[in-house]
Structure 1
């Protein structure tokens, strides 16, 4: 086995946001030298990695030159220059997830076609080159209202997704490639994180349940274990494994799904990286998702994915009406509650719905944990000095 620990081995990470920051806790634990590339000099990782490079993740030369400096390259965000990764891979650099996986996943239209081609259950959809083409299809009854509009590229944290109830809802949306997806009346939104290393060892984390903010379309709560029947959980894990197998995936893959009214499982979308739905694992699991990501991309034995205790994650997002230097109001009140651990992402400026941190609640009883999570949500406020 290659010596990654306390050596001159260098891990490169494209992206220096909060996912990178939490990954650094694990690289520091193992003493794995880590270099980060991010466009912002104030990125959450900037001051705490071994080596920080500022540059555009979508620029070919920037990504290529960064890749030449490291021994293994990984990502914490999908929106990166694929052509640079493909060239680096051809030249022999180890890159996980594989560039071809990232390329498919970073375009929602390509991702949906991939599911269809591999008989992976997903909501029906149509693909359009532009909003005008989509409007034309609606006017000719080729697409029926309501439906879910998704931008093919650059959707993130609720951006790039909108329920369309009338044609005028499409006004002011990006004009580029998009998909129109059948609106699924689901019972639950679920997620399964799959870890797989190069040797083919594969493990799934328990199925989690996600509760979303109705306006921002962002996850508000992640609940582990999901409060669903074991037969549904089994089906969700099997489909997540099928997705990872179809991609021949190496790394950590978060598979988001719908549980329909008939208890069918439909894949919504995937993320080829550590994910919001796995943050609970830092406190609640034997092996948290960030350590597992390291294990998988370095082809180390995978860790135990079981939970030690029930866990719920609450996202801390910027409150509406506040932009500026961040203040976490009442945070000392939630720290006083047993089993509550806040994670602050190091972003100095808050704005409405910006992810600023999260809080994990662990408890032996999932229902008690959910009550405490509600209390946390209602107590802590992410605001600014001036509104």
Structure 2
């Protein structure tokens, strides 16, 4: 099939920042795109060939959208799976597949899939309601502390809570959930895995993630991770096994824990470009967005090695600001060596909302991390009107 400068159309479900950055690559290759998002001001609206406003969870909307494209992919997991299954039955190519997404969309199903495939993960208990969880605690079948996760609807730290005592149980919503054993880890790591329809698989170097203690969001992504070579090799091998088990096509971001005795446990996965791969835009031979496009079009995968050490800093809304966004001191950080800001195009800021990121590249990874700290301390995502 001729994808380039042709009538071929790639459909993308979701028009957020990941969709916008995917479109950088389709523009580079002159691939026609059609994007759907419920937000008429979505970041991807200006870069695609056709933009549609619509509900990604509505069956008819997704079916109608998918019938008008040649291959369908997505940048967010919250899409109607039944619609994707119908489109596949009608011969439409959907990557990653509805089957892959179905295993991942529900965190309870995802964790049980790991057990079935003998993939190392933290011990957990699954509950259909908050009452079931509270009953287990009252009967001393569940002890503090543990990690509570909503089975569906969680993202960017939402739908996750550390439960240390009885009072922490009170505000939890009454939804299906899992209670996961708390892992006392050395590092939170991630590996991006790319796989095309021919079964070609490549993994990116292991990255190290540093999280904001309050928002439970990634603050820094460091590539390569500052870990022993044997730990990195094991992490990539585990991520490769996860990819084989899901038989996905496209990108799969595999989030991992490195335990105190250097074991690797799978935390969770995302079947799309991911925050942990943003460093690759400046630091890698093939960035994660181009790699996703290559994979879903069944083209040869690009080199995953890094050209240089990279650190990514997330730009999120400051706690006490909500309103039209202003990037304070952005000119200051642009004077720093190896610094490239990426602004997502969201016009309104609010506390901890992801508004952009900054990539820092340097031959000396420690120097890149120091510059990243300067970036974090300098630029502030605020609103001039409170």
TM-score, reference length from structure 1: 0.99
Q: Where does residue 383 of structure 1 map in the other structure?
A: 382
Q: Summarize the alignment of residues 35-50 of structure 1 with structure 2, pairs less than 5 Å apart.
A: 35-50=34-49
Q: Where does residue 239 of structure 1 map in the other structure?
A: 238
Q: Where does residue 101 of structure 2 map in the other structure?
A: 102
Instruction: State the SS of the aligned residue for 2:245.
Output: helix
Q: Where does residue 209 of structure 2 map in the other structure?
A: 210
Q: Summarize the alignment of residues 336-351 of structure 1 with structure 2, pairs less than 5 Å apart.
A: 336-351=335-350
Q: Summarize the alignment of residues 31-70 of structure 1 with structure 2, pairs less than 5 Å apart.
A: 31-70=30-69
Cα separation, 1, equivalents of 2:275 and 2:157: 13
Cα separation, 2, equivalents of 1:17 and 1:112: 27
Task: Kindly tell me the number of residue pairs found equivalent between the two proteins.
Answer: 386
Q: Where does residue 151 of structure 1 map in the other structure?
A: 150
> Is 1:170 aligned to residue 169 of structure 2?
yes
Shift of 1:248: 1.1
Shift of 1:49: 1.0
Q: CA offsets, 1:241-276, max 9 Å, x none?
A: 000001111110000000000000000000000000
Q: Where does residue 6 of structure 1 map in the other structure?
A: 5
Cα separation, 2, equivalents of 1:149 and 1:59: 28
> Is 1:75 aligned to residue 74 of structure 2?
yes
Shift of 1:173: 2.0
Q: Where does residue 280 of structure 2 map in the other structure?
A: 281
Q: Where does residue 179 of structure 1 map in the other structure?
A: 178
Q: Where does residue 263 of structure 1 map in the other structure?
A: 262
Q: CA offsets, 1:264-306, max 9 Å, x none?
A: 0000000000000000000000000000000000000000000
Q: Summarize the alignment of residues 213-362 of structure 1 with structure 2, pairs less than 5 Å apart.
A: 213-362=212-361
Cα separation, 1, equivalents of 2:372 and 2:46: 31
TM-score, reference length from structure 2: 0.99
Segments of 4+ in structure 1 off by > 4 A? none
Shift of 1:48: 2.0
Shift of 1:73: 0.1
Cα separation, 2, equivalents of 1:288 and 1:333: 26
Shift of 1:172: 2.3
Gaps of 5+ in 2: none
Cα separation, 1, equivalents of 2:113 and 2:309: 34
Cα separation, 1, equivalents of 2:249 and 2:105: 16
Cα separation, 2, equivalents of 1:226 and 1:317: 23
Cα separation, 2, equivalents of 1:59 and 1:142: 39
Shift of 1:47: 2.0
